[in-house]
């Protein structure tokens, strides 16, 4: 039976909300509403029914409705499920089933395994009047979640739930943000409302919504809480006037759908979160290579020249990208006929593929709303665009001008989008790309609000800009390694000509039929289908979400827009980009059904990592954003189950400083996704532009490539177990209080501690070494960590401190290579770094690097103890032609004398044992 706790209720302090705009009337209104919320009656629980694996109850408003921000919902339901021994599900929802609930197709729910309450790691307790609940850890009675200090408020357009926290809590997660990794706890607010966010501002909502937090309590354990709610929300982590710490959800809709993860170790919470939102996709081996992009590559020849310049500089380049420059007037699924003609694009891609390199192009959600444009016309024919209630197109503005927006819920949208991708990017007569990048999909709307007229605004803003006759910059140079059509003509002029400008005024949209207005208006249900209340304020709800863009509908698709399934953008906005990315993933699966897709998205939602990747958006070429990239990576990989992430190396906006860019080249090499990308007006920042950056880039990429199988293995285990491939220090040292706030160091995998220089223009870094055995990665010197800071100076622009954690065995390639295909031909060597007891373990996953189905793969376990090295496990992967699965040597660190085998280096205190051993079965040796 469940334990029914009688919890005392304390008086509440105040509800935090938007900072009032100047004016006594506004201030009075906000304060009045706060007082009303604080005096709301809450609910009373009745008809409480308990079973061995759960509880249900009715919740009824306990007094007169306060209607502080909208209408109170009188009757609610409570559902409690012990889904397994480590996961508790608590759901509070309206009895009429009208309030919006996230659809199963967006986030499939985890299985309810009907665990026994008596054996569960976390326990639920209820107080019936006034209703509140408490969640505590069984083994030590630690209270993890307690709603007993202020009443629950559940209204049509406002839901509040508060939980108490311990003093000085360690709270992390709640992405996407650019704030500190461990949150501030006094007067701190997280806003979740997906929005275009140039320069990724601090203390603001960014591109994604991930309402999950980790609460780390040292030796008392770590737990996680996930709120499955897509509504825009403010989450406060603050203190009452009396100093009591709390976390408070304030949403403008939806239901309270909570999943509690018991942990109790930090990485356990990561794994349990993966059980809820899904395990990451396994990405192709080549995606760990180095990528290059810039908005503003003038034409296809310039793209080719960048590729050639990397080769000439001796800097490996795996993937070339092109931004919207390639499009005809910035329209999806087109190419500029003069600067990026299809024939030349096909030559570019075939040349890249011949060089074992890859190509990725961008797509945006806004589809130019003009006739004589097949993507738009076919979409209209298939009824895939969002509509107004009268059946006319819902217009906005993006790069191509006035646009329509795909309705990802419409039944034909997947097929339409797949058809466009397969037609434009087919290998026979299209652009045979290797991945797709979806951008602007929050969705960003250049029309600020509903008073905008998109077509007029596009003309006024000059969107899209007219092409010009300006010659291409840096024209006339040979492009080594590319066909004759890419080379200068005898006159010194490149073969791609500039376009004569043509006025856009003649591009009159063809009339399109309106959709039947009755069928559109009928989409919005009156209730009972969890699609949201029909009679809401769509633009300025009384409770204000503190978005940096202003009101909730500003600069995006307007929130009063109906989706095909009867839901509203008000409720589904935060996963619009998620749906675009998921749709693109399915299209890429259809295009190449046997190969793992690669889709990079700017906007994300909980569970996006199941299929797609993410970069941290439009950052800045600044030291602060260099540091920010570390914090963002830690959150996304270890807490949001999105492992293949990274920032625009050297920064997107503004001009990069060479010294900072060199440092960033090193830092980025130890992050999962590694791409250099810059904005249109920024100077070129390709690594070869400055000697100091070229040197740093070579070292960084060569080191990254040698370690590629190590981190590819870590990705594999995140996809199968949820164990993060990037670890904050407290994940590996959960009882060391000094690690709890560290946000500028991380473990690459679980063995390599990365400690970059983070002070502006400095050659000095102070990093923390836990009380453990480490080895300097570059010199192999053994270091005893003291649980204290270490300061190192005189670090050149090509230096980055890296330490191997004692107890690790790390697989390497003996040499780096120019491409990942060539890299796979290099033999392995294994680096053994024993711990204080002389033991070490490691692992290696091998497959073909790209196929979805892997019937023959290897999962090899390496161990070292008492001088004995062994390799066991499964050895199913037989290398493809030319690949190597040979271990050339094993290097054992921390040795003070020669052994029975191998060569002893007394200076480095290491023993090198030469192979070769083929990884087709068990092997080993005794030193």
Catalytic residues: 439, 442, 618
Of the candidates 614, 604, 612, 590, the one whose C-alpha atom is nearest the C-alpha of residue 421 is: 590
Our separate counts of H helices and E strands in the chain read: 16, 46
Using DSSP, state whether 11 is helix, strand or coil: coil
Let me know: does 748 contact 742? Beta carbons within 8 Å: no
What residues pair up with 154 in beta bridges, in sequence order?
159
CA distance 149 to 913: 64
Let me know: does 418 contact 587? Beta carbons within 8 Å: yes
Q: Which two tokens stand for residue 810?
A: 């790390």
Let me know: does 186 contact 244? Beta carbons within 8 Å: no
Tell me the chain's radius of gyration from C-alpha atoms: 29
Q: Classify the C-alpha dihedral 489-491-492-497 as positive or negative.
A: negative
Give CA 903 to chain center in angstroms: 45
Of the candidates 491, 797, 578, the one whose C-alpha atom is nearest the C-alpha of residue 666 is: 797
What is the β-pairing status of strands 367-368 and 782-784? unpaired
Let me know: does 834 contact 865? Beta carbons within 8 Å: no
Q: Which two tokens stand for residue 355?
A: 């060089």
Let me know: does 820 contact 288? Beta carbons within 8 Å: yes
Q: Residue 474 — left, alpha, or beta (φ > 0 → left; ψ -120 to 50 → alpha)?
A: left
CA distance 828 to 830: 7
CA distance 756 to 758: 6
What residues pair up with 45 in beta bridges, in sequence order?
59
Of the candidates 149, 124, 108, 131, the one whose C-alpha atom is nearest the C-alpha of residue 260 is: 124
Report whether the peptide linkage leading into residue 264 is cis, meaning its omega lies within 30 degrees of zero.
Answer: yes
Let me know: does 206 contact 176? Beta carbons within 8 Å: yes
Let me know: does 667 contact 660? Beta carbons within 8 Å: no
CA distance 36 to 68: 6
Q: Which two tokens stand for residue 235?
A: 């989450």
Report whether the peptide linkage leading into residue 772 is cis, meaning its omega lies within 30 degrees of zero.
Answer: no
Q: From start to end of 217-365, where are the E strands?
A: 222-227, 233-239, 245-251, 256-261, 291-292, 319-322, 358-363
Using DSSP, state whether 663 is helix, strand or coil: helix
CA distance 670 to 129: 53
Report whether the peptide linkage leading into residue 176 is cis, meaning its omega lies within 30 degrees of zero.
Answer: yes
């Amino acid at each position: 039976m469940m334990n029914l706790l009688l919890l005392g209720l304390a008086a509440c302090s105040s509800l935090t909300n938007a900072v009032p705009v100047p004016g006594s009337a506004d201030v009075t209104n906000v304060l009045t509403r706060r007082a009303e919320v604080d005096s709301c009656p809450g609910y009373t629980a009745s008809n409480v029914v308990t079973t061995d694996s759960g509880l249900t109850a009715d919740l009824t408003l306990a007094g007169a409705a306060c209607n502080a921000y909208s209408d109170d919902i009188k009757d609610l339901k409570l559902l409690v499920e012990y889904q397994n021994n480590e996961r508790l599900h608590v759901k509070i929802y309206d009895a009429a089933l009208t309030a919006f609930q996230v659809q199963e197709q967006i986030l499939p729910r985890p299985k309810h395994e009907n665990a026994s309450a008596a054996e569960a790691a976390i326990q639920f307790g209820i107080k019936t009047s006034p209703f509140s609940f408490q969640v505590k850890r069984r083994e030590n009675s630690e209270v993890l979640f307690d709603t007993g200090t202020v009443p629950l408020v559940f209204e049509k357009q406002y839901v509040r739930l508060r939980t108490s926290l311990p003093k000085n809590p360690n709270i992390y997660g709640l992405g996407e943000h650019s704030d500190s990794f461990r949150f501030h706890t006094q007067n701190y607010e997280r806003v979740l409302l997906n929005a275009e966010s140039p320069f990724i501002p601090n203390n603001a909502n960014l591109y994604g919504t991930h309402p999950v937090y980790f609460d780390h309590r040292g030796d008392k354990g770590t737990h996680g809480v996930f709120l499955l709610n897509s509504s825009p929300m403010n989450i406060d982590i603050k203190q009452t006037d009396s100093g009591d710490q709390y976390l408070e959800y304030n949403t403008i809709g939806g239901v309270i759908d909570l999943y509690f993860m018991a942990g109790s170790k930090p990485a356990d919470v990561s794994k349990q979160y993966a059980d809820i939102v899904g395990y990451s996709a396994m990405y192709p081996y080549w995606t760990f290579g180095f990528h290059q992009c810039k908005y503003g590559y003038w034409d296809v020849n310039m793209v080719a020249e960048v590729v050639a310049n990397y080769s000439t500089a001796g800097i490996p380049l795996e993937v070339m990208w092109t931004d919207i420059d390639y499009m005809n007037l910035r329209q999806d699924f087109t190419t500029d006929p003069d600067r990026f003609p299809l024939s030349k694009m096909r030559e570019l891609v075939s040349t890249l593929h011949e060089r074992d390199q890859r190509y990725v192009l961008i797509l945006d959600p806004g589809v130019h709303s003009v006739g004589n444009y097949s993507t738009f016309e076919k979409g209209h024919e298939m009824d895939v665009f969002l509509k107004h209630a009268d059946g006319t197109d819902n217009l906005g503005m993006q790069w191509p001008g006035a646009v329509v927006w795909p309705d990802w819920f419409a039944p034909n949208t997947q097929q339409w989008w797949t058809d466009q991708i397969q037609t434009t990017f087919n290998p026979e007569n299209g652009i045979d790309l290797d991945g797709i990048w979806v951008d602007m999909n929050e969705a960003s709307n250049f029309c600020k609000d509903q008073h905008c007229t998109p077509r007029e605004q596009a003309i006024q803003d000059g969107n899209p800009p007219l092409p010009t006759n300006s010659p291409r910059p840096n024209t006339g140079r040979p492009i080594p390694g590319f066909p004759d059509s890419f080379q200068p003509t005898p006159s010194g002029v490149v073969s791609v000509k500039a376009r004569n400008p043509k006025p856009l005024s003649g591009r009159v949209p063809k009339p399109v039929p309106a959709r039947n207005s009755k069928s559109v208006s009928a989409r919005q249900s009156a209730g009972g289908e969890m699609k949201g209340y029909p009679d809401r304020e769509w633009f300025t709800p009384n409770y204000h979400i503190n978005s940096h863009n202003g009101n909730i509908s500003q600069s995006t698709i307007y929130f009063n827009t109906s989706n095909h399934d009867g839901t509203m953008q008000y409720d589904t906005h935060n996963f619009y980009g998620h749906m675009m990315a998921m749709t693109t993933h399915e299209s890429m699966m259809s295009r190449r059904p046997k190969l793992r897709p690669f889709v990079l998205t700017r906007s994300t939602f909980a569970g996006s990592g199941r299929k797609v990747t993410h970069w941290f958006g439009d950052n800045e070429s600044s030291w602060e954003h260099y540091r920010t990239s570390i914090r963002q990576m830690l959150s996304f990989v270890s807490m949001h189950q999105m492992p293949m992430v990274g920032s625009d190396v050297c920064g997107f906006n503004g001009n990069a400083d060479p010294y900072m860019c060199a440092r960033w080249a090193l830092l980025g090499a130890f992050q999962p996704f590694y791409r250099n990308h810059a904005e249109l007006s920024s100077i070129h920042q390709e690594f070869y532009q400055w000697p100091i950056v070229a040197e740093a880039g070579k070292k960084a990429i060569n080191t990254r490539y040698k370690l590629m199988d190590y981190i590819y293995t870590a990705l594999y285990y995140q996809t199968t177990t949820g164990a993060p491939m990037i670890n904050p220090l407290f994940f590996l040292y959960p009882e060391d209080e000094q690690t709890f706030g560290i946000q500028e160091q991380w473990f690459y995998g679980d063995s390599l501690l990365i400690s970059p220089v983070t002070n502006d223009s400095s050659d000095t870094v102070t990093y923390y070494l836990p009380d453990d055995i480490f080895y300097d990665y570059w010199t192999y010197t053994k270091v005893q960590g003291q649980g204290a800071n270490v300061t190192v100076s005189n670090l050149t622009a090509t230096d980055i401190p890296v330490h191997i954690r004692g107890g690790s065995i790390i697989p390497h390639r003996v040499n780096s290579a120019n491409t990942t295909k060539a890299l796979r031909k290099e033999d392995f060597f294994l680096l053994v770094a024993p711990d204080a007891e002389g033991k070490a373990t490691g692992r290696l996953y091998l497959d073909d690097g790209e196929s979805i189905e892997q019937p023959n793969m290897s999962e090899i376990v390496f161990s070292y103890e008492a001088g004995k090295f062994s390799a066991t496990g499964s050895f199913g992967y037989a290398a493809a032609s030319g690949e190597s699965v040979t271990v050339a040597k094993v290097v054992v660190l921390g040795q003070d004398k020669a052994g029975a085998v191998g060569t002893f280096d007394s200076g480095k205190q290491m023993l090198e044992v030469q192979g070769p051993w083929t990884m087709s079965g068990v092997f080993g040796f005794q030193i």
